């Protein structure tokens, strides 16, 4: 048996066609027993004729993902004239869904590729949030879409991750009286910085719970009211110097704070 050749014609990259055809081929042959020739970005009849002529010479199977119904019709009938086996990979699905949804498809090539780009952008944002969490590397401040500034236990990390799921690159900077914030913080655009404020009473309660969870005594300096007041006073100095918006997170869920942040960014942009 001769080695089968499969031409894959697409009005985009042709990745969908290749995945479907390869999955089907595995039921008959292994990866070394066939050849795939991908023909991406084919969007007119003249180019289709050239591809089908080449497929005829190779006595190839043709698989195609074309969202334009006129081009699908053209391939179908040209393949019949040439005696080619042609597989319309996406057409029957589009036609069935058109009946179900009672609306015409958008007929825009490459939408799945756009979805892939959105997915990878989100993954990149999540990795960014992890890398530049808790002021680990101040170089992330300039690259970030959003910079969160706050004392310990103001939900900087969960907020960073939540916003990353919306594809925003977020860096967060902890504010500690004994440590000067990185110079990068004052050199970046203050409009993308958000201060996270919290009441001393709420912070005291949160930190006591944190100490208990760690098996430590509640009266540690970390949760002492005097220490908390010092940290909040230093935080106020920093955000005043930055001139950035401040959100009181004392009684807000992460989702609520995230929505406020996005609203503020829209206002500032």
Q: Are 65 and 14 in contact (CB under 8 A)?
A: yes
Cα–Cα–Cα angle for 135, 141, 145, rounded to 5 degrees: 120
The answer for residues whose C-beta is within 8 angstroms of residue 25's C-beta and 6 or more apart is 6, 34
What are 166's two structure tokens?
A: 């919306």
What are the residues facing 38 on neighbouring strands? 8
Q: Which residues are annotated as a binding site for ADP?
A: 150-157
List, as one string, the DSSP characters of the chain.
-PPPEEEEEESS--HHHHHHHHHHHTTT--TTS-EEEEE----SHHHHHHHHHHHHHTT-EEEEE---HHHHHHHHHHHHHHT-EEEESSHHHHHHHHHHHTS-----TTHHHHHHHHHHHHHHHHHHHHHTGGGS-TTHHHH-SEEEEE-TTSSHHHHHHHHHTTT--EEEEE-BTTBPPPHHHHHS-GGGEEEEE--HHHHHHHHHHHHHHTT--TTSGGG-HHHHHHHHHHHHHHHHHHT--EEE-TT--HHHHHHHHHHHHHHH-
Return binding residues. Answer: 150-157
- Token couple for 59: 């006595």
């Amino acid at each position: 048996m001769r080695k089968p050749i499969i031409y894959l014609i697409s009005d985009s990259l042709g990745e969908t066609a290749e995945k479907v055809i390869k999955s089907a081929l595995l039921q008959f042959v292994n990866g070394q027993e066939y050849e795939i020739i991908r023909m991406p970005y084919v969007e007119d009849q003249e180019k289709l004729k050239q591809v089908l002529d080449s497929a005829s010479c190779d006595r190839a199977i043709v698989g195609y993902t074309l969202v334009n119904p006129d081009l699908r019709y053209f391939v179908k009938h040209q393949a019949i004239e040439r005696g080619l086996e042609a597989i319309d990979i996406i057409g029957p699905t589009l036609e069935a869904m058109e009946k179900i949804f009672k609306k015409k498809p958008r007929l825009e090539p490459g939408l799945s590729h756009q979805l892939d780009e959105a997915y990878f952008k989100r993954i990149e944002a999540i990795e960014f949030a992890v890398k530049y969490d808790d002021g680990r590397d101040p170089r992330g401040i300039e690259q970030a879409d959003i910079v969160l500034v706050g004392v310990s236990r103001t939900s900087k990390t969960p907020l960073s991750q939540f916003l990353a799921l919306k594809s925003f690159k977020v860096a967060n900077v902890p504010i500690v009286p004994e440590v000067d914030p990185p110079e990068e913080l004052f050199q970046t655009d203050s409009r993308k910085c958000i201060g996270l404020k919290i009441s001393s009473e709420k912070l005291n309660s949160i930190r006591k719970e944190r100490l208990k969870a760690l098996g430590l005594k509640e009266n540690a300096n970390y949760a002492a009211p005097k220490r908390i007041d010092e940290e909040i006073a230093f935080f106020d100095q920093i955000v005043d110097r930055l001139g950035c918006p401040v959100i009181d997170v004392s009684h807000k869920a992460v989702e609520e704070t995230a929505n406020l942040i996005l609203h503020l960014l829209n206002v500032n942009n």
